[in-house]
Amino acid sequence: MPAYRAVVFDFFGTLTRSVQRGPQHAEIARALGADPEAVRGVLDRTFRARAVGRYGDAAATLRWVIEQAGGRPRQAQVRAGVPARVNALKADTRLRGDAVSALSAIRRRGLRTAVISDCTHELPAFLPGLPVGPLLDAKIYSVRLGVCKPDPRIYLAACRALGVSPGECLYVGDGGSHELSGAAAVGMTPVRLAAPDLANHLVFDADTNFAGCTVRSLTEVIGLVDHTRLEPATVV
């Protein structure tokens, strides 16, 4: 029997390839009467606040962002901008080539799977429809829970949803949001995904001092499940 009962994944940069904002974001900004670079700046500096829902629902948050960037959007523009934002983030999202096969292999071994994502309102709108959606037993979104990684509550929410203890979980992530040290702190075994494409990934609060196990692909996680009970990570 494998040593672990569940594998918990980050989403952006882990189940997906590296993420950068595509051209649709600039188009949305212009349609709402704001300068795209000003909007980009607001998005970058307010990510964590938006990811815990500080500015309200999707429409209220979009209006707030545009107003901070100097725009004064009409209600109809904001209404149209909400689905446009969902489409823009979905367009930025490219699943890793081995995401579906790795999740499927893990589930065939009898392990449960979950995703924990620091995200804004858009991800819950489109993740369930992606090919990985049916392969995840639990989906924990910061914007719905009201806390971001590395807050212990976000990891423990995943454990409750899966019916496992933290010590029975591998946590796989690229290291944004200090997620690996946060996973270790609650008793999970963290694994860094260091795929080559992540050099260009849009990341906030990277876990730069992580010194635990590292893999180069999601496929390698299957081998960890099969053969290894990892030593606890070292975070310096």
Position 108 scores a pLDDT of 96
DSSP codes, 30-43: HHTTS-HHHHHHHH
CB atoms within 10 A of CB 232: 12
Q: Are 179 and 212 in contact (CB under 8 A)?
A: no
Torsion sign (Cα): 220, 221, 222, 224 = positive
Q: What is the pLDDT along the chain (236 residues), one digit of tens a residue?
A: 458 999 999 999 999 998 888 999 999 999 999 999 999 999 999 999 999 999 999 999 999 999 999 999 999 999 999 999 999 999 999 999 999 999 999 999 999 999 999 999 999 999 999 999 999 999 999 999 999 999 999 999 999 999 999 999 999 999 888 899 999 999 999 999 988 887 676 666 666 677 789 999 999 999 999 875 544 444 43
Whether the CA torsion 47, 51, 54, 60 is positive or negative: it is positive
Q: What is the pTM of this model?
A: 0.91
Measured distance CA(174)–CA(191) in Å, rounded: 8
C-alpha–C-alpha distance, residues 209 and 195, integer Å: 17
Report DSSP state, residue 9. E
> Which residue, chain included where needed, has tokens 């976000």?
154
* Structural domain boundaries in the chain: 6-19+94-227, 24-92
Exposed / middle / buried, residue 204 (Cβ in 10 Å: 0-12, 13-18, 19+): middle
| Residue at token pair 């149209």 | 80
Instruction: For the chain, state the CA radius of gyration.
Output: 18
106: Cα separation from own chain's centroid = 19
Structure tokens that stand for 33 in this block: 């009467």
CA–CA dist 1, 184 (Å, integer) = 23
Helices and strands, counts by H and E, the chain: 11, 6
The CATH code belonging to domain 6-19+94-227 is 3.40.50.1000
Measured CA to CA, the distance from residue 205 to residue 113 in angstroms comes to 25
Side-chain half-sphere of 80: how many Cα atoms within 13 Å? 11
pLDDT for position 150: 94
Q: CB-hemisphere CA count at 13 Å for 97?
A: 4
